[in-house]
Amino acid sequence: MSAFTSLLSSFRQAAASEREKGTYFEELTLAYQAASTQMQAVKFVEKDEQKIAWDDKLFQGVASDKAISYSEQAIVKASYRPFAPMYFYFDRSCIWSPYQMPKIFPNCDAKNLVILTTGRGSTKEFCAFISDRIPDLEMISKGQCFPLYLYDEPAKASQPGLFEEGPPQSTRRDGITNQGLAHFQAAYPGENLTKEALFYYIYGLLHSPEYCASYADNLCKELPRIPCVKTTEDFWIFSKAGRALAALHLNFESVPMHPVEVVTSGPVSDASYRVEKMRYGKAKEDGKTVDDKTMLVYNDQITLKGIPLEAYAYVVNGKSALDWVVERQCVKTDKDSGIVNDANAWATETMGNPKYPLELFQRVITVSLETMKIVNALPPMAL
């Protein structure tokens, strides 16, 4: 933020100097002025990735003399990757494209649920996941979002009232349309079918292996189509399954930890739970060294044994849920920005628990096993 402000100030001085010479945007149209100013900004700024990652929107901000003010209210918890929350600065001035997120999560207080599915152009197999936080575009590859609610921007008052009533509030409406609900109500007459029940039905159906296989060719090219299953009983089975899956996937940080053997060496303290890079154990198979995924080397002092292999069957966004934990719970320095992403800092400063990375792995074992139980118990997709 300070780098942007400093460069903006310098750019203002340089632009003022050019205007005094009478050579700045003379005899140009307004459209050409904007384009030319942006080009000047591109040439002017210091392109140091360790200070700021420039994009067209930020160049335009410099060219149009728009400052960015820091606000703590813009700091929110987001879903960066599956089972990998991260803090995010949600300010449209700093985001190249927020897409439709302001309508889904307009502010840090907005409550919502969003089903994410693999989008067009992805090379990964179709999957669905749910979040109650702002998701990154690649949380689910090329992710498409289907929210439970949408928030409309508050209408601007034509004339202020006599008494201040506080800032205008966004208007919340259902993400599922009345027409969409009526379509399913007609298929299951006499049922107390709500939009929330339909939302969870969709989430359950999107986890059906039969659905994913039957519509595989379409799912890689277009948005998911949601059919009506043949019987009312099956509708409610899918809806209840979707609700149970959502509870697991949203509450992954608080589900019970799956019991595994934790092997330690030497005295164990809070410092013992510092993680740099988890890795799986090794085993010999047909004369080759392969990963032994029943064992996880957490660090030089702690190893987990007895990890059930069936837990790796739950795959989301191209890899198992447990592989996502292993990949994201580490210490990694971004080569361009120099920013250090330290899972231990999140554990101690945000969660107040230095054991968080280890416990998260055990909790996601539970999530994976319970997810596969629900998925494997889904009924055939009779239409």
What is the model's pTM? Answer: 0.86
Residues 6+ apart with CB under 8 A from 331: 275, 276, 277, 340, 341, 342, 343, 344
Q: Give the model confidence (pLDDT) of 262-276 as tens digits.
A: 999 999 999 999 999
Regarding beta strands 144-147 and 84-89, do their DSSP bridges make them parallel or antiparallel, or are they unpaired? unpaired
Q: Identify the weakest region by mean pLDDT among 39-53, 126-140, 231-245, 272-286.
A: 39-53
How far apart are alpha carbons 253 and 123 in whole angstroms?
A: 29
Q: How confident is the model at residue 29 (pLDDT cuts 50, 70, 90)?
A: very low
SS3 state at 66: coil
Is a pLDDT exceeding 50 seen at residue 21? no
Q: Tokens 């940080």, residue?
A: 253
Angle at 290 between CA 284 and CA 293, to 5 degrees: 105
DSSP letters of 213-280? HHTHHHHTTSPPP-PPPSSHHHHHHHHHHHHHHHHHHHSTTTSPPPP-EEEE-S---GGGG--SB-EE
Under 8 Å between Cβ of 157 and 165: no
pLDDT of residue 44: 67
DSSP letters of 18-32? HHHHT-SSTT--HHH
Q: Which of 96, 95, 136 is nearest to 119 (CA)?
A: 136
H/E stretch holding 79: strand 75-81
Sign (positive or negative) of CA dihedral 23, 16, 8, 33: negative
pLDDT of residue 181: 97
Q: Give the model confidence (pLDDT) of 81-131 as tens digits.
A: 999 999 998 888 888 778 889 899 988 889 999 999 999 889 999 999 999
Q: Give the model confidence (pLDDT) of 102-113 as tens digits.
A: 899 988 889 999
Q: Identify the weakest region by mean pLDDT among 48-57, 79-88, 138-147, 218-227.
A: 48-57
Distances (CA, A) of 22 to 16, 43, 44, 87: 10, 20, 19, 46
pLDDT of residue 54: 79
Under 8 Å between Cβ of 240 and 233: no
pLDDT of residue 95: 82
Q: Give the highest mean pLDDT range of 6-10, 24-28, 141-145.
A: 141-145
Q: Which is more confidently placed, 127 or 4?
A: 127
Is a pLDDT exceeding 90 seen at residue 40? no
Domain ranges in the chain?
Answer: 2-63, 71-154+169-245, 261-374
Q: Give the highest mean pLDDT range of 8-17, 269-278, 282-291.
A: 269-278
User: Average of pLDDT values for 37-48?
Assistant: 67
pLDDT of residue 109: 85
Bridge partners for 297 per DSSP: 279, 303
Q: Tokens 């992710």, residue?
A: 143
Q: Which is more confidently placed, 186 or 69?
A: 186
Q: Which is more confidently placed, 248 or 22?
A: 248
Q: Exposed, middle or buried: residue 300 (CB in 10 Å: 0-12, 13-18, 19+)?
A: exposed
Token duo for residue 319: 């890899």
How far apart are alpha carbons 6 and 302 in whole angstroms?
A: 47
pLDDT of residue 15: 52
Q: Tokens 């090329």, residue?
A: 142
Q: Give me the helix-helix angle, 30-44 and 56-63, nearest 10°.
A: 110
